[in-house]
Amino acid sequence: GNSVTQMEGPVTLSEEAFLTINCTYTATGYPSLFWYVQYPGEGLQLLLKATKADDKGSNKGFEATYRKETTSFHLEKGSVQVSDSAVYFCALSTPYSGAGSYQLTFGKGTKLSVIP
Amino acid sequence: EPEVTQTPSHQVTQMGQEVILRCVPISNHLYFYWYRQILGQKVEFLVSFYNNEISEKSEIFDDQFSVERPDGSNFTLKIRSTKLEDSAMYFCASRGPASYNEQFFGPGTRLTVL
Q: What is the pLDDT of residue A94?
A: 79
The rounded distance, in Å, linking the Cα atoms of A101 and B31 is 8
Q: Is A30 on the interface with B (CB under 8 A)?
A: no
Q: What is the pLDDT of residue B65?
A: 97
How far CA A30 is from CA of A94, A107, B28, in Å, comes to 7, 18, 28
A102 vs B4, B91, B101: nearest CB: B101
Other C-beta atoms lying within 10 Å of the C-beta of residue A72: 17
The answer to whether the CB of B26 falls within 8 A of the CB of B6 is no
Q: What is the pLDDT of residue A96?
A: 59
CB contact under 8 A, B91 and A43: yes
How far CA A52 is from CA of A66, A101, A104, B34, in Å, comes to 7, 18, 16, 26
Check whether A116 has a pLDDT greater than 60.
Answer: yes
Q: What is the pLDDT of residue B102?
A: 83
Check whether A115 has a pLDDT greater than 80.
Answer: yes
Give me the mean pLDDT over the B63-89 stretch. Answer: 94
Q: Is B101 on the interface with A (CB under 8 A)?
A: yes
Q: Between B40 and A63, whose confidence is greater?
A: A63
Residues in A touching B106 (Cβ below 8 Å): 43
Q: DSSP 3-state assignment of B86?
A: helix
Q: What is the pLDDT of residue A100?
A: 58
